[in-house]
Structures are given as C-alpha cells and as structure tokens.
Chain A
Amino acid sequence: MTTHRRRSRVRPGARPPLVVLPLAALAVAFLVVPFIALLQRVPWSSLSDRLRDPIVTQALRLSLTSAFSAMGLSLLFGVPLAWVLARTEFPGRSLLRALVILPMVLPPVVGGAALLFAFGRRGLFGGPVFDHTGFQLPFTIWGVIAANTFVALPFLVVTVEAGLRSADRRLEDAAATLGAGRWMVFRRVTLPMVAPSLAAGAVLCWARALGEFGATVTFAGSLAGRTETMPLAVFLALQSDRDAAIALSLVLIAVSLAVLVPLRDRWLAV
C-alpha cells in the first residue's frame, strides 16, 4: 500500500460516509469560531497606527527570525535523531523516544525553568560556560532560539520518524545493492521518500516555535527589541490594552496564514 500512497489524491465525486460530514463541520466550526470572534473585536479604525508601532515590527522580526532558526536547527539535529529512532535497534530506545517527546507534554513554563537550570548563568552546563567565556543564553536572542527549539524539535522528530517507518525500505536496499554508499542512499533515496513528512514536520515545528510563549519568557526573558517576541508582546499588551493585543494577534494570524496557505496539500500529504 505504501507504493500507492504518494499519488492518492482525492477523486472527484468521492462520497464520504454520512457521519463524516457533520462531524467535520463541527470540528471546523470549533476551530474557526474563535478566530471570527477575535476578528469581530479588531479595532479596525486604529489598526494601521497600532501596526506602525516599532514594538510590533521589532517583535515580528524577532519572532520570524527565531521561529525560522528553530526550524533550521530542528531539521539539522532532528532528522538524524528521527533516523536513529526509526532505523536502529538498541536497548532503551522507547525510553529515548519518550524523553524526546517530553517537551511536548511538559508545561512550557516548566520547560523554560528546566532550561534555566541547565543553560542559565548558574546552570549545570551554562554555569561553567559563563565562568570561562562570559557568554550567557538568557536575555539574548540565542536564548529565544534555544527555548523555541526545545519545544518545537519534538514535533519534527515525531513526524519524520513516522514518515521513515512507513517508507518502503526495499527502495533503500535496492539502491544499496546497486552500489550506493550509506550517505548516498540517505540523501538520494531516504530523504526524498520522506519529503512530505519532512515538510509537515518542519511546518509543525515552525508554527509551534512562532506561537511559543511559556518557555521563551521563562528562559530568555522579555525585553522589547531584544527578546520580546510576538506572543510575549500580545500577552503584555493584554494586561493594559486589549485592542492593542488583538491588533498584534491579527498580525500573527496573518503571517501564519501567509506561510501556511501556499503550502497546499501536496507538501503536507503525509
């Protein structure tokens, strides 16, 4: 079945079972109604003034930079990790997988505190680094990227691992029999086969990083222009000025849609 998987588009006129449509409609309503409610509160008249505020542009730039960086780092380290989890046998592998998934389950604030205890100025690892070099992650954009990567990486690993498990290994074996080295097989056969999961994982990972709040604020702090990302700016604005918070949210939603909509089905058909 895996061999037919990639081209199985929805046939025109395919009739879904009756029970599917109303449930799907309810799911859509549940997801979309809150956004409509938010749109209805948008202060349209003052919107353009609010969006020209340097706080907004700075926060947006920082959010995009850190979300894309987190995605890049997750691809760099997460794909090899997914491969190890999917393709190798060793004792304690399910424990390792559970550990990798842990940041998805952990309340982000707890994750942020754990990062602080590990990589903070007096942390397990961050302490010696700071003592020798004076470098610290908290209160810098590197801290924001680290926090984003911490919470977003598992999404990529889990998605790519699932892709690797369902990929047809006979193709890899065939390539190897034809004389391709292990790196060649990985690069020319394995990666293209899991391209859809790779794309889906990267998108999930990016989206999670873009909306990240708890771990970021706990680990990296929040300072306008330096570590204050969009979600932090939204949260702070909500404390004093709801209209500003809604305007900021609108920007975040627009940017997310601008990235997610053009991806279309073919990239996400895992």
Chain B
Amino acid sequence: MSTSHRLRWGVCALLILAAAACGGDDDDDSAATATESTEAEGPTGSITVFAAASLTDAFGEMADRFEEENPGTTVELNFGASSALREQILAGAPADVFASANTSNMDQLVDAAAVEGEPQVFVKNELEIAVPAGNPGNVDGLDDFGNADLNIGLCAEEVPCGQFGREALANAGVTPAQDTDEPDVRSLLTKVEAGDLDAGLVYHTDVLSSGDAVEGIEVPDEFNVIASYPLAALSASGNAELASAFVEFVLSDEGQSILESYGFMSG
C-alpha cells in the first residue's frame, strides 16, 4: 500500500525528469536554428569538432581563438583516440569537423562518403623516446628498445603511434623487446612518468606536455617516422559554412602558429 504509493511517485518523478530532458533538447535545437537564421556577416551558430587526443591542448586554444575572432560562434570539442572517433562518426555522432592523428582513419570516412571535399594534412608530429626524469635505465637511443633487461613500452600495433613506432624501430634494425603494448599514447606516458617503464616511443608533443616528469631523447631523422594529421569538414554537418570556416582557420598562419607553439610541425 504505502510502498505502491511510493513506487507511483517514483515513476511520476522519472517521467517528469524524462520529459524535462526531452524538452531541454528541443529548446537547444530551436535556439541553434534561431542563431543560424539571424546571420549577420560571417558564419554563426555552433559546431562540434572531433579531434585526436594528442590535439587536446592545441585545439583547446584553437577553439578559443576562433570563437574570439568570430563572435556568435561556439566550437564544442570532443577528444579521443582517432579510431574511436571514427567509429562514433560512422555511427552517426553529431560531428561537423574531424581531425585525425593518422590518414587511415580519415580514409575510412572518405570511403564511407562521410567527408565533405578532400581531407587536408594540417600538421605533422615526429616520434621521440620518452624516459623518466633522470633516465634511470640509461637509455640513449632506439637500440635500447631491444634490451630485454629494461622495461620497454610501445603503443599497440593497432593504434597510430604503435604503427609509427614499429616502423622507426624497423628502420633502425631493432627488434623490440617490449613489456607492454599500450592502447594509447597517454597510457604509455603514464607508465614512463611513474618510472615503471625505462623508455617508451611517443610523439614529440607528448614529451613536451609531460613537463618535468619525462625527458625526451631525439630519434635520428634517418629512422624517424613523421605522423601526418588530416583534417576535414564532415558531410553530415548541420552548419557547413562554420565547419569550413574552422577548417580554414586551422590551416591559416594563425592556426598553424598555435599548433607550432605546442610542438607540432606545420603541415
């Protein structure tokens, strides 16, 4: 009796919550279309940018600067492994722009006709050896990645930094004796920072972002592999004008200098 009353109230509360949530969505949509229709000069409204995790800091600043220079616009950012973002976009996630850490994920979107126009390489990144502060394993180059006595980490073959890392090691003629194949570069860095790995093969920008916990050792140019990051507006975008304006901004001198300040090489 009293329990069934309580249950009924609980159900009502749930229904009200659900209704409120739906109502909220509708409001957002109408607000978005309203701003779109009151176009003054230049694009307005909002877009969502899906970007590779390694772009987190750089694209945060990129979006801020873009919004500053284009009043009335909002850039939402969603970061993750490029492959995970690719899956989300293919499954219909509301993305307007995709910035991938490698070409193969972008190519799959091109094949699925999810991309507007031709993707453009907007930035490059090179590999670097990350060692814990103080370099306890006395690592001095790619050769040490074959040393079974050291704790060595790579990214897994399935993710871009793992592919590039293996290419670089193959270029140097080193068969890696790694103790772990990490699912992404951040998780590899965590173990280097904690001192549990003596060395890991990551991107130059990751070493910069780790601050004092990690030291970088350059990979010689003749062995190094350069990662190319492609960028494209997506065909499912609800605001194609703003999406392409953002792509242009990233490719502009200003956008490129933001990326360079985070250690990327200009595309």
Contact = CB atoms under 8 A, between A and B. Distances in A.
Interface of A: 17, 19, 23, 109, 113, 116-117, 120-123, 136, 138-139, 217-218, 221-224, 227-228, 232, 235-240, 242
A125 B11 CA distance: 49
10 contacts: A17-B7, A19-B7, A19-B11, A109-B187, A136-B151, A222-B182, A223-B179, A232-B183, A239-B81, A239-B83
A237 B180 contact: no
* Residue among A138, A217, A221, A236 with most chain B CB within 10 A: A221
B74 to A, nearest CB: 28
Contacts of B241: none
B53 to A, nearest CB: 13
B8 interface: yes
B2 interface: no
B181 A223 contact: yes
Contact of A236 (B11, B158, B194, B195): B158
Contact of A221 (B4, B8, B182): B182
A170 B30 CA distance: 64
Contacts of B124: none
Interface residues of B, number: 27
Nearest to B153: A221
Contacts of B8: 19
Given A217-B187, A218-B190, A239-B158, A122 B180 contact: no
A239 B182 contact: no
A38 to B, nearest CB: 13
A239 B104 CA distance: 11
Interface string B8-21: 10010000000000
Interface string B153-183: 1001111000000000000000000111111
Contacts of A223: 178-181
* Residue among A222, A224, A242 with most chain B CB within 10 A: A222
Interface in B6-56: 7-8, 11
B156 A122 contact: no
Contacts of A218: 187, 190-191
Contact of B180 (A120, A123, A221): A221
* Residue among B153, B190, B191 with most chain A CB within 10 A: B191
A218 B158 CA distance: 17
B87 A242 contact: yes
Given A17-B4, A222-B182, A223-B181, A117 B156 contact: no
Interface string B120-159: 0000000000001000000000000000000101001111
Contacts of A122: 132, 194-196
Interface of B: 4, 7-8, 11, 81, 83-84, 87, 132, 151, 153, 156-159, 178-183, 187, 190-191, 194-196
A240 B83 contact: yes
Given A23-B11, A238-B87, A222 B156 contact: yes
Given A19-B8, A19-B11, A238-B83, A120 B194 contact: yes
Contacts of B151: 121, 136, 138-139
B191 A138 contact: yes
Given A109-B187, A221-B182, A236-B156, 20 more contacts: A17-B4, A19-B4, A19-B11, A116-B196, A121-B151, A121-B196, A136-B151, A138-B191, A139-B196, A221-B153, A221-B181, A223-B178, A223-B180, A236-B181, A239-B156, A239-B158, A240-B83, A240-B157, A240-B158, A242-B87
Nearest to A18: B4
A123 B87 CA distance: 37
A102 B213 CA distance: 27
B181 A116 contact: no
Nearest to B104: A240
B183 A235 contact: yes
Contacts of A235: 183
Nearest to A240: B158
Nearest to A123: B194
Contacts of B182: 217, 221-222
Nearest to A127: B195
A239 B194 contact: no
A232 B179 CA distance: 15
A232 B195 CA distance: 22
A120 B81 contact: no
Contacts of A221: 153, 179-182, 191
Contacts of A116: 190-191, 194, 196
A210 B4 CA distance: 37
A113 B194 contact: yes
A116 B151 CA distance: 14
Nearest to A214: B187
A135 to B, nearest CB: 13
A227 B4 contact: no
